Structure 1
Amino acid sequence: MTMDMSFVLIKLIIVFCFILSLLISNAETSNDLIFNICKKTRSPKLCSEILRSNRRARKASSLAELLDISMEMGKSSAQATKNMIIISRLRTRDRETKERYKSCVTNYDSAAYYLKLANYYLKNGDYVKVSRYIAAALNEPVSCRQNFGRPERVEPEGLKEGNDKLECLCSFGLVISNSLSGKNLSFAQV
C-alpha cells in the first residue's frame, strides 16, 4: 500500500513540476516579447514599466495579442488624460492656459478616435492601416506637449505623465504593427 502511495505521490509531483515549468515558460516568453518590443520604442524603460504592470500584457502570447492590449491601454490612458485635462481647464483662470488645455482635449479626442480605427483594422488583419492610425494617434500627445512647450510655458506634471504614457503606448503599438506588416522598424532607426 505504501508503495502505491509513493508512486502516486511521485506522479503528482512530476505533473505539478511540468505545469509549473509551462507557466514559468509562458511568463518568460511574454516578458521577452515586452522587452524585445519596448527596446525599440522611444522610451524603453517607461514602456517596460507600463506594460509589465498590466497582467494581461504579461500573459500575452503573441504580438497581435500584445498589440490589441496596448491599444486598449492607450484608449483608456487617452480617456483618463482627457478627463484630467478637462478638470484642469475648469480650474484654470488664465485664458491662454485654458486655450492650451482646450487644444489638448481636441488632441486626446483625436487620439482616441485614431486608436478606435486602428483597433477596427487590427480585427480585420490590416496591419498597414493599423500602423497608419497608431502613428496618427502618436502625434496627438506630441502636439499637446508642444502646445505647452512654447516659451514661458511648462507642461503641467499630470499632463506630462499622460502625454508620456500615451506616446509610449502608441510607439509600442507602432513597433508591433510595423513588425506584423513586414516593416519591422524601430524608433532607433527613425
Structure 2
Amino acid sequence: MKKALATSLLALGLFAGSTAHADDYTIDTEGMHAFIQFRIQHLGYSWLYGRFDKFSGNFSYDEAKPEAAKVEVTIDTTSVNSNHAERDKHLSSEDFLDVAKFPEAKFVSTKYSSGKLEGNLTLHGVTKPITIDVKEIGAGADPWGGFRRGFEGSTKFALADFGIEKDLGPASKEVEMILSIEGVKK
C-alpha cells in the first residue's frame, strides 16, 4: 500500500514544472481539492482503499504546448490513512512504507505526451520510472478571483519494484494509485 501511495505522489508529479509560456500552479491541498488515493486487493477477496492526507506539489501547463507540462509532488508517507488505526500502524511499519526510515515519497515528471505522464517515483528509498494515465478535467476562473486547472490520473505498480516484499498473496502484488489534482494558478 505504501508503494501505491508513492505511485499516487508520482502521478501528481506529472503536473508540476515550468516552461517559458506555461502557467504555474500550486496543488490545492490546503482547501482539500486534491487527493492521492490507492487501492490494493486484500487477499484476493476485496479491495482495501487508502489515501495520503499530507502532500504538496506544483505543476506547469501550457494549453498550446501540453508536451512541456512538468509536475513535482512530495508525499508525507506518515500521513497514510486507510480508515483503520491498527492497519495504518502496520502500513507505516517496516513491512510496508517504513515511515521512520522513509518519511517522504516523491514524484518528478520527465515527459508528457498524449495523456501519458512519465516520471520518477521515489518510494521506500527506491526510485523507478512510472507512467500515469492523465485526463484533464477542466480549467477556469474560481469564485474567489483566481484560476484553477484540474486533472485526474491513475497508475499501477508492483510493490516489490520499490523494495516492499511483504507477501499479501498473489492478487495483492500490485497497487493502484488514483490521483485527483486541482491546481491554483500562481
- Same fold by TM-score, threshold 0.5 exceeded? no
Q: Which has the higher contact order (CA 8 A, sep 6+)?
A: 2
The structure richer in strand per residue is 2
Q: With structure 1 as the length reference, what TM-score do the two structures score?
A: 0.25
Give the TM-score of the pair, scaled to structure 2: 0.25
* Structure with a larger share of its residues in helix: 1
Larger radius of gyration: 1
